[in-house]
Structure 1
Amino acid sequence: MNWGPSRWDGAEGVGRPLALVGPTASGKTSVTLALADLVQPLEAVAADSMTVYRHMNVGTATPSLAERALVPHHLIDLVDADEEFSVARFQRAANEAFDDIATRSAHVVVVGGTGLYHQALIDHLSLPGRYPDVALQLEADAAGESDVKALHARLAGLDPTAAARIQPTNRRRVIRALEVTLGSGRPFSSFGPGLEAYPPSPFVLVGLRLGRDVTARRVEKRFMAMMDAGLLDEVRALLDRPQPMSRTAAQALGYRELAEHLRGERTLDNAVSTAIVRTRQFAVRQERWFRRDPRLTWVDGEADAATVASAAHRVWTDAKKWGGPGASGR
């Protein structure tokens, strides 16, 4: 695929795609639907690590069938909850979706809050493979915090560049870097400049800016609405399936805590309150991730969806007029 701007400009003036980001519960889906009143035809590509799973629609706030009738969404309900789904697999599926959308000369908005999926797509990251046997051994070696630090020291000896980019206590990233380094025989850092590089992109990048207190209130309100919509029953149905949930799916916010309740490990009230706290913490991490990207133009996400969509549309339209390979970091 040609990832330069000409990949999009040739489609009857459709121009550059929009990437709309923001923390969970920031209203990205509502804004996307409101954009359809300003841009037609419009199709969305979901950059979300959980909406790819079937039978997990309530707790992942997957756009409804009615919403998808207004704006077609790609990369939703791709796999069952017992399957692992990798960033590389997402990237391939997104490429196929873009090729499909281009045949209809439709405008594209990438919408989602999974930072790594988002960046893998807009920066066309070179992604290393998976080495499950190596990963399993490293997981076993990283039982405690001191063990993770020891693995980080091992990584520093094999790939000092990667080790310098990763906190010694970041268990997941230390294990992943060592998995690739040991499994591929190549330093993890050799696969690209890393997530701290922000090269020119054919995408127009817009972020929804909200106060953390506003996000916290929205998180709680949305989670309680999910409970009213049957989230507990959705989790129960997943646990009753013959195949267990994959490691990734089982860690989904809300599902993990409610599953613990159903196994008798938490009261329902404790599961709900814990899920809300963890989701708020996740929203803060999302915000920090996106804040690092200087290419993003931020708009006020606290207004109604139509107003936010108009602001995002102005940024998008201006960027098409400017041309050039990257979005402004205004």
Structure 2
Amino acid sequence: MLGAILVESEANELAPSVRLKDLAVVEGARSNQLTGIGLVVGLPGTGDRSGMAMRMIRNMAEQYGLSLGTREIRSRNVAAVTVTCNLPPFTREGQTVDVLVSTLGDAKSLDGGVLLQTPLKAANGNVYAVAQGPVTTGGFAAGGAATQVSKNITTTGRIPGGAIVERDVPMEYASDSKLSLLLRQPDFTTAQRLALSINNKFGQIAVPLDAARVEVAFPPAYAQYPASFVASLEQLEVRPDSVARVVVNERTGTVVMGGNVKISAVAVTHGNLTVAVAEAPQVVQPEPFAGGQTAVVPRTEVAVEEQQGRVISMPATATVTELVDALNSIGATPRDVITILQAINEAGALHGELVVM
């Protein structure tokens, strides 16, 4: 497994300024999830064998005045699917959005299929969009009775611009000449800095309510132009703060450490013990005409290799960069770093949050 060690900036004062629009969103300006169930037709024999798709075909035919019996519907060219999409904020009637199409039954592939008109509903049961169009999967699946070849996932596909918005979603982001900004990563210090940046530009109009919310009043000059005011807010520069955190992924050997993580005085030693066990059975045959039987004699070879551990000493208030440099000096791999960090955290010398994924 390949591993990686990523180190963020060394100190908070070196952290770059970020646009407000990249740190926070306006409360009320949110996306909405839409879902529907439909039929994909025109598949080259890769559709459903389940009765669900057949019942959907019969129900659709009845809407057009056709009456079909169960025995009349024998097709592997259709598939029952779920159709989902996210309706972005401020999307208006007549605009189009992308949709995701996924199989419900045992269809093998949606490649080459066409989604029939499918209404998309929100959680309140109202229809806000209608989806239809050819499905693109970005892969293929082909085979016969003995083997099958596939590339990428063909049971899920997309229809770019496949849904037409039929109803506007009400968006109210300003009330009583105020709006609220919600931080993407809640933090009291960042919320305070965000409010200070707004106040330095427009006067005393912003108040941090908690780690995630900053309330902003409209200046008199923007009372009738809320959209222009939000656009001006989005361009303000803010220097964010973050919690001292170390994130490790044991499956991939990835370690991400913030530059504000401090290490107390600690000594670290780490050695590797490798044990290799190999089976090499030997076949023993009797002499000719001896009347014996051929036998297999088990032979096991065990090899043990222990690498000599080295000791490093970290001074108090050591930074994460100094820790990484010291660990690299003793030849520690990313997986070694993960084990060492967990041990340092257990010893109480790691001043920050250790997150193991």
Please give the range of the TM-score, normalised by the shorter of the 2 chains: under 0.3
TM-score, with structure 2 as normaliser: 0.22
TM-score, with structure 1 as normaliser: 0.24
- Higher share of residues assigned helix: 1
- Higher share of residues assigned strand: 2
Larger radius of gyration: 2
